[in-house]
């Protein structure tokens, strides 16, 4: 059966949204990219499992959080994009210092929930504009904290609709990643903090937010750090290497680099995904030619070139 027919048939059986050829531009922070061949927003876990079992073809599947770390190419994504719906936005307290969070919860919401419940250790999440699913995938973090330091376990489902709970001891987290299979759709995470005075927690959140505002631009079409900070070879951060290679004023079409943080690339409004990718490649090449260091991408690029 062809894909558009399968989508049509499934749409009659599912309450969640399912579309054939869905424009992705409003689903990522750059506001760029083409269409997803199939877009599915399950309303419940049962629906997600039903979809995984029934949708039979070899198209790749990619889950999207809030798209704050992803560049989608102009030619679109020749596969299935899944975005988790409301059912995956639950937050609850398990005990005095443990929170269970659905994957569609925003990092800031989890951090605020921890504050309301006097649980310290999750303050850094208030500075990251993604979802919990994205944060687990990226092992997101800042100012010395990251997901690996507060996660106790995760719940996932794979392409074959097998649901698993994986304890953090079994996961090898590293800088902006882990050994968790690309095939996993994260459903939820259990986070461990420590019982703390809420005034102290609030103060810490405010402190981190002030540092962040000073060093990073806000209210722009960006995906945050474009490149990872190199972990070996040099003590220098990616933004320092970009400056050293005199790239901070570079521009291709509507794709530019933030004056405040040279590792933040910006869609000024008229950029195409191609402009953005070309700028990324050009900066990487210039940094390599100047410093001998090959910068690795932090943001993810998906889809086909046009
Ligand atoms: C202004 C700004 C500041 C930022 N500051 C920081 C920072 O300080 N520290 C930091 O680490 N990052 C930072 N980021 C990057 C980004 O916010 C994080 O990487 C964030 O965790 C991505 O979450 P997301 O929901 O947007 O994921 P997306 O961008 O939607 O996806 C990112 C990856 O996660 C995967 N993914 C998303 N949800 C799931 C799921 N449920 N199951 C399986 N895989 C999933 C996607 O497939 C993709 O591979 C910043 C970004 C911006 C725009």
- Indicate the CATH number for domain 89-214: 3.30.465.10
What are the CA-CA distances from residue 8 to residues 1, 44, 48 (Å)? 11, 19, 16
Given a cut of 90, is residue 234 above it in pLDDT?
Answer: no
Given a cut of 70, is residue 175 above it in pLDDT?
Answer: yes
Class of 218-302 per CATH? alpha beta
Q: What is the pLDDT of residues 81-95, one digit of tens each?
A: 999 998 999 999 999
State the pLDDT confidence band at 106, using cuts at 50, 70 and 90.
Answer: very high
Q: What is the pLDDT of residue 232?
A: 74
Task: Read off φ and ψ for residue 92, nearest 5 degrees.
Answer: -150, 160
Can you name the residues that pair with 63 across neighbouring β-strands?
A: 82
Q: What is the pLDDT of residue 233?
A: 65
Q: Comparing C-alpha atoms, which of 101, 99, 125, 98 is closest to residue 204?
A: 125
Query: Mean pLDDT of all residues in the chain?
Result: 96
Given a cut of 70, is residue 20 above it in pLDDT?
Answer: yes
Active site residue 176: yes
Contact 218, 165 (CB under 8 A): no
Residue 103 beta carbon below 6 angstroms from any ligand 1 atom: yes
Residue 220 CA, closest ligand 1 atom number: 1
Residue 130 beta carbon below 6 angstroms from any ligand 1 atom: yes
- What's the mean pLDDT in 35-57? 93
Can you name the residues that pair with 80 across neighbouring β-strands?
A: 38, 61
Residue 96 neighbours by CB under 8 Å, 6+ apart: 119, 195
Active site residue 225: yes
Active site residue 198: no
CATH architecture assignment, domain 3-86:
2-Layer Sandwich (3.30)
- CA dist., res. 242 & res. 237, Å (int): 9
- What's the mean pLDDT in 96-117? 98
Residue 131 CA, closest ligand 1 atom number: 25
Given a cut of 70, is residue 171 above it in pLDDT?
Answer: yes
- CA dist., res. 77 & res. 98, Å (int): 37
Given a cut of 70, is residue 221 above it in pLDDT?
Answer: yes
Farthest CA pair distance, the chain: 59
Q: What is the pLDDT of residue 87?
A: 93
Residue 65 beta carbon below 6 angstroms from any ligand 1 atom: yes
Residue 300 beta carbon below 6 angstroms from any ligand 1 atom: yes
Contact 157, 48 (CB under 8 A): yes
Q: What is the pLDDT of residue 57?
A: 74
Given a cut of 70, is residue 77 above it in pLDDT?
Answer: yes
- CA dist., res. 45 & res. 92, Å (int): 17
Residue 241 neighbours by CB under 8 Å, 6+ apart: 230, 234, 287, 290, 291, 293, 295
Residue 135 CA, closest ligand 1 atom number: 21
Q: What is the pLDDT of residue 272?
A: 98
Given a cut of 90, is residue 58 above it in pLDDT?
Answer: no
pTM of the model: 0.97
Residue 85 beta carbon below 6 angstroms from any ligand 1 atom: no
- What share of the chain in percent tops pLDDT 90? 94
- What's the mean pLDDT in 141-168? 97
Task: Locate the domains of the chain by residue range.
Answer: 3-86, 89-214, 218-302
């Amino acid at each position: 059966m062809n894909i558009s027919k399968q989508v049509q048939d499934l749409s009659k059986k599912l309450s969640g949204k399912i579309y054939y050829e869905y424009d992705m531009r409003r689903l990522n922070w750059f506001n760029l990219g083409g269409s997803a061949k199939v877009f599915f927003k399950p309303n419940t876990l049962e629906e997600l499992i039903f979809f995984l079992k029934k949708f039979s073809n070899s198209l790749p599947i990619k889950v999207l959080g809030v798209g704050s770390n992803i560049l989608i190419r102009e030619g679109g994504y020749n596969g299935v994009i899944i975005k988790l719906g409301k059912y995956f936005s639950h937050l609850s307290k398990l005990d005095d210092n443990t929170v269970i969070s659905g994957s569609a919860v925003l990092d800031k919401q989890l951090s605020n929930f921890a504050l309301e419940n006097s649980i310290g250790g999750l303050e850094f999440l208030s500075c990251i504009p993604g979802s919990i699913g994205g944060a687990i995938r990226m092992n997101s973090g800042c100012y010395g904290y990251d997901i690996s330091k507060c996660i106790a376990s995760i719940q996932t489902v794979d392409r074959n609709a097998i649901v698993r709970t994986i304890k953090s001891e079994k996961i090898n987290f590293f800088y902006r990643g882990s050994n968790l299979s690309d095939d996993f759709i994260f459903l939820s995470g259990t986070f461990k903090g420590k019982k703390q005075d809420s005034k102290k927690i609030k103060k810490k959140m405010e402190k981190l937010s002030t540092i962040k505002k000073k060093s990073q631009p806000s209210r722009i079409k960006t995906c945050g750090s474009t490149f990872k900070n190199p972990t070996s070879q040099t003590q220098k951060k990616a933004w320092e290497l970009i400056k050293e290679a005199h790239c901070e004023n570079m521009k291709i079409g509507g794709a530019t680099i933030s004056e405040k943080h040279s590792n933040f690339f910006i869609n000024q409004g008229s950029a195409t995904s191609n402009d953005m990718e070309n700028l990324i490649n050009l900066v990487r090449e210039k940094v390599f030619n100047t410093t001998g260091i090959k910068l690795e991408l932090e943001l993810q690029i998906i889809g086909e070139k046009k």
